[in-house]
Structure 1
Amino acid sequence: MSIDSTASQRGLFIVFEGGDGAGKSTQVAMTRQWLENRGARVATTREPGGTQIGEKLRSLVLEHGHGDIDSRTEALIYAAARAAHVQQLIAPKLAEGTHVICDRFVDSSLAYQGMGRSLGFSAVSAINDFATTGLKPDATIILDISAADGRARRIAASGGVEDSDRLEAEPDDFHERIRGAFLELAAKDPRRYLVVDATGSVEQLQQEITTHLAGLL
């Protein structure tokens, strides 16, 4: 029987998290292909983004040239984009039986704004619980990478020139706090998280990921 055999069966919500340069977009695409090969309906999306308003908010919060953005404003922009994302795309797709794979979700806000911007997990969690109506991923894959390795990958991918957005441009100690936050979140709920070493080969990572997901399916 197909893993997605009935329209009434809720889809799985799978999220990829990790530092900048960890290779999330590659693994998102490969995981989508793996699920589709098993007969599933799959939607891939990203945060911030996924909807028309979400993409506009993405440009405001990530692109340079919009002036200073304080930490609380930054956190609220991400939460607003996420609220639209859940209501307009993620929740409807899951309800119709489509698996949704998302590049970043609430954990990124907990890591970047909660830990990186020192707003605290509790405050950031509260606004995101409201934004998402409490929706949580069925599986969260964390691609673990050091700040230095992530930066090197970003530079290599851009042809040797560091072309960073607002958050990528933060110093390495900021990104190491982000890394620590992701690992802390995973340690609190090991059943929902899979942490993989992002310095491994693309094929090795995909094997670890699909083995984990196969157990859920």
Structure 2
Amino acid sequence: MAFEGGDGAGKSTQVTLLAAALGRGGRDVLVTRQPGGTELGAQIRQLVLHGDHVSARAEALLYAADKAHHVDTVIAPALAAGAVVVTDRYVDSSIAYQGAGRDLGADEIARLQDWAVAGVLPDLTIVLDVTPEVGRSRRGAVQDRLEAEGDDFHAAVREHFLLLARAAPQRYLVVDGSAAPELIHAEVVAWLSAAGVLS
């Protein structure tokens, strides 16, 4: 399962809450994030979010490299061992941020991401939907390269997350990310319970 959404949407909080709920339900859970879920990923995260200028195309390729390594060394082995993987961001973030936000072409980035992860996609992607204004109000004064982009950038990213969700409603749950964290968690748990993932 992947949590997606704009900066400031509350993904990390929901990842933690869901992992705890799955654990209480007896599931073996691997919690990870992208970029940063491996040693290489942590280095890539530093480059793309906190380093000097990185061109848009290089940024897209670095994110793809992170995911390729992450799937090969962390996600695929965990899935093979029967674990439930809960990740803070996955391929949709690259499609939305680099494809739509950076205007590199969502279809091109989607193909690059699919190749990088060898077709490994979440059974469920939860999009925490927040407006650029709400996201900005939550991010604070210290922001990384992507967080610091203007509202037009974040609006394009948001719209593309919603476009992805509308295109495959059976694989997406869109939740109002401006709601209280416990209400968001309850909606996610209700969806997973109805799907038989949580009992």
Pairwise same-fold verdict (TM > 0.5):
yes
Report what 1:49 is aligned to.
Answer: 36
Could you list the runs of 5+ residues in structure 1 that have no partner in the other structure?
1-13, 156-161
What CA distance in whole angstroms lies between the structure 1 residues aligned with 2:16 and 2:33? 12
What CA distance in whole angstroms lies between the structure 2 residues aligned with 1:118 and 1:176? 12
Any residues of structure 2 matched to 1:50-65 within 5 Å, and which?
50-64=37-51
- Measured against aligned partners, the alpha-carbon deviations of 1:139-162 in whole angstroms (never above 9, x if no partner) come to 00000000111110112xxxxxx1
Report what 2:118 is aligned to.
Answer: 133
Report what 1:212 is aligned to.
Answer: 191
3-state SS of 1:191 partner = helix
Report what 1:36 is aligned to.
Answer: 23
Q: 1:170 aligns with which of 129, 135, 149?
A: 149
3-state SS of 1:205 partner = helix
What CA distance in whole angstroms lies between the structure 1 residues aligned with 2:75 and 2:129? 25
Q: Does 1:111 align with 2:96?
A: yes
Deviation, structure 1 residue 122: 1.4
What CA distance in whole angstroms lies between the structure 2 residues aligned with 1:22 and 1:129? 25
Amino acid at match of 1:80: A
Amino acid at match of 1:129: D
Report what 1:7 is aligned to.
Answer: none
- Measured against aligned partners, the alpha-carbon deviations of 1:75-118 in whole angstroms (never above 9, x if no partner) come to 00000000000000001001100100000000000000000011
Deviation, structure 1 residue 121: 1.4
Report what 1:87 is aligned to.
Answer: 72
Deviation, structure 1 residue 26: 0.4
Amino acid at match of 1:146: T
Q: Does 1:200 align with 2:184?
A: no
Farther off after superposition, 125-134 or 93-102: 125-134
3-state SS of 1:168 partner = coil
Deviation, structure 1 residue 51: 0.9
Detail structure 1 runs of 4+ shifted over 2 Å in the superposition: none
Amino acid at match of 2:47: L
Report what 2:84 is aligned to.
Answer: 99
Report what 2:63 is aligned to.
Answer: 78
What CA distance in whole angstroms lies between the structure 1 residues aligned with 2:26 and 2:114? 32
Amino acid at match of 2:129: D
Deviation, structure 1 residue 216: 4.4
What CA distance in whole angstroms lies between the structure 2 residues aligned with 1:109 and 1:154? 20
Report what 2:109 is aligned to.
Answer: 124
Could you list the runs of 5+ residues in structure 2 that have no partner in the other structure?
none
Q: Does 1:26 align with 2:5?
A: no
What CA distance in whole angstroms lies between the structure 2 residues aligned with 1:198 and 1:171? 19
Amino acid at match of 2:157: I
What CA distance in whole angstroms lies between the structure 2 residues aligned with 1:105 and 1:211? 23
Higher helix content, 1 or 2: 2
TM-score normalised by length of structure 1? 0.89
Sequence identity (%): 49
Change (3 A) 1:216 1:76: farther
